[in-house]
Chain A
Amino acid sequence: MSAGGATTVDMVVFGVLATLTTFFALFTITRRNPVTAVMSLVATFFCLAGIYASLSAHFLAVIQVLVYAGAIMVLFIFVIMILNREEVAPFSLRPLRVLGVLAGVYLLVKIIDVVTVGLPEAVPGAAPDGFGTVAAIGDVLFRDFLYPFESISVLLLVAIVGGVVVSRSHQKEVAAVEAHDYRHQIEELAHHDYPGEPPAPAAPEGYH
């Protein structure tokens, strides 16, 4: 970022990236095919990473590409692979949802009103030295936010375990229960056919 103010280059870059972001986001929620939606979501995240970089958030821009465009998107693609279903009618507009849309539009108008009135139009001054670099963020993260950072690891662990438990197949358990019942049935039947008979006749002792 330039120190003096918004240069023409900044304006053009932001304009292009913001337009592309909005366009791809709209594309994401309007496509019928989930694969197209995911691809435009990836494009949205890439454009957003560019916008993050223009806010001198270089570390976050890299993380955005790694985590969103990398990990989360692969997850989405895999799930689409498992359950790819074309929709008959993608949008559902019931009376309650129409109300929700109206409320959302009202909220949008109000928020833009508040934002454009409440904040100065001035360009923020030059970022401090090393703003948004890995070193600077690491300093804040491991000094002031150590416990939240550690609790993220717990959260991720819980998410992993939860994901495995929720999505695991129950077929093996059902098969095991059925096998157990089956064995039980066989034993009962055997008992029914030969009541009172010892399971295996033992060889008499001392018989030659």
Chain B
Amino acid sequence: MELPPFQLLLDRYSHDVHRFLIANVGITDADDCYQETWISALRAYPHLQHATNLRGWLLTIAARKAIDLHRARGRAAVTMADLPEHGHVDRPDDDPVWEAVARLPPKQRAAVVLRFLLDAEYATVAASMGISEAAARRNVHEGLSRLRKGHGYEWTA
């Protein structure tokens, strides 16, 4: 298995992993999850069987770290109240849609973030969340429907 040097993964995908975690666990916990994600990835990397979707693989690890954190916090705490007020990251923070996304249930939020913030294919959304592609589509659609009903945002999947 000929894998690219790990530094190239870090160079190419660090922003995606970080944005994904900020949207999923909030800015306060994102940095810890981010570090744990990359250490876990580095540990597992030489044993990886496929190098076809390394971005998806990294987002899978990041999604697991986010789920671990949600479990540790307890379900009630998953409110994402600590989203950045100002543009800490290059995403449309000033758009109130992200406040609404942050209030979605965890699975719908993760799916919507992966699909729209990170522009991931449904296969990657599914792999990252450890669910089927059909379930990934369902979560995106349910999330969008909730955004549309609750906040009047019109997105198409």
Whether A associates with B in a native complex is no
**A residues bordering B, Cβ < 8 Å?**
none
